Amino acid sequence: MLRMPRKDRRVLVDSSTLDDAGVFAHGRGEALVQTVDFFTPIVDEPYDFGQVAAANAVSDVYAMGGVPLTALALLCAPETGLPPEAIAAILQGGLDKMREAGVSVVGGHSVRDRELKFGYSVTGLAKRRSLLLNSGVRAGDRLYLTKPIGTGILATALKQGKLDETHARRLVRHLTALNRQASEVAVEFGARAATDITGFGLLGHASQMAEASAVTLQLSPTNDWLLPRVREHAAALVVPGGLARNREFYSPGILAEGVDEALLTALHDPQTSGGLFIAVPPRKAKAFEAALLRKRVWYVPAGEAVAPGEHRVVLGGPARGIR
């Protein structure tokens, strides 16, 4: 157990609440939103990997309702066995994606390592009053998911040679898509809370949000929530190692009666660069959905928050029918 120093009053969010990023008050009504993420390659092409690492790293800032500004690159690379062109392609992919996000890469650090890893530390700005925290959900809020689920499963299928070219390309497109527009719409239309779906899977992050907000989340998942081919691979147990750990850890807090087994498996899939999971007050839901449509952001209405019950997350049935 670490002895934590007394918290600076300017620290609005630290790692203790499982939020997506740290938040530090700075300037009038503003705050710095900061996050770091780096990992081993999950796609074949170095350029694509750089793009995925960048999209994934800035996503934590978007998930807090912030605008990313600067990044520092983190590179662990082997001395031999990886051509310099591959390293350059990774950095270029990252730079290009960061430019798309309006982020300046102001520095970085590289170390020798037997295993390639790449990622970024990212700093953004947010208005303090429009921060999207895990703890902001209120009973009655509508829930939305802004990217389909299944990147962990498809990346596993890719590694096992079980994903065709078309679906592999689609996976890359999905992994490199920014959550920027979804975040902007969420902030503009008064969303109350958000998180991005990453390593703990949809149900893990939903459970954390329910816990932090002291509500129960009623979700009505369908196969439309999944990327193409995810259901088949989930049924065949072509899944990443982290999936079973997620399921074991979060299942006790989840009521999942009557939910199709392959779909339930996929909802525990650890995501890289996943979509946002957003809670919107009911009176703002219509305008929020219209804005997502206008900006052509993929989304599904995922359910709603209710008063806290026995479970953190309850799956099944259309949420509106439950009220």
Contact residues for its own copies, defined by CB under 8 A: 1-5, 7-8, 10-11, 13-15, 21-24, 26-27, 32, 34-40, 69-70, 72, 74, 76, 88, 91-92, 95-96, 98-99, 102, 104-109, 111, 113-115, 117, 119, 121, 123, 125
Q: How far is the CB of 276 from its own copies (least distance, A)?
A: 19
With a CB cutoff of 8 Å and minimum separation 6, the contacts of 301 are 142, 143, 144, 289
Nearer to its own copies among residue 56 and residue 156 (C-beta): 56
190 Rama sector, left if φ>0, alpha if ψ -120 to 50, beta otherwise? left
Nearer to its own copies among residue 108 and residue 228 (C-beta): 108
Nearer to its own copies among residue 32 and residue 206 (C-beta): 32
The length of the chain, given as a count of residues: 323
CA distances from 289 to 151, 180, 236, 283 (A): 24, 16, 35, 11
Nearer to its own copies among residue 11 and residue 307 (C-beta): 11
With a CB cutoff of 8 Å and minimum separation 6, the contacts of 3 are none
Nearer to its own copies among residue 29 and residue 282 (C-beta): 29
Helices then strands, each counted (H, E), the chain: 11, 13
Q: How far is the CB of 31 from its own copies (least distance, A)?
A: 11
H/E/C letters for each residue in 171-229? HHHHHHCCCHHHHHHHHHCCCCEEEECCCCHHHHHHHHHHHHHCCEEEECCCHHHECCC
Sheet strands side by side (includes 300-306): 193-196, 276-280, 142-145, 300-306, 216-219, 313-315, 254-255
Q: How far is the CB of 109 from its own copies (least distance, A)?
A: 5
Q: How far is the CB of 24 from its own copies (least distance, A)?
A: 5
Q: How far is the CB of 315 from its own copies (least distance, A)?
A: 30
Q: How far is the CB of 61 from its own copies (least distance, A)?
A: 12
Nearer to its own copies among residue 14 and residue 232 (C-beta): 14
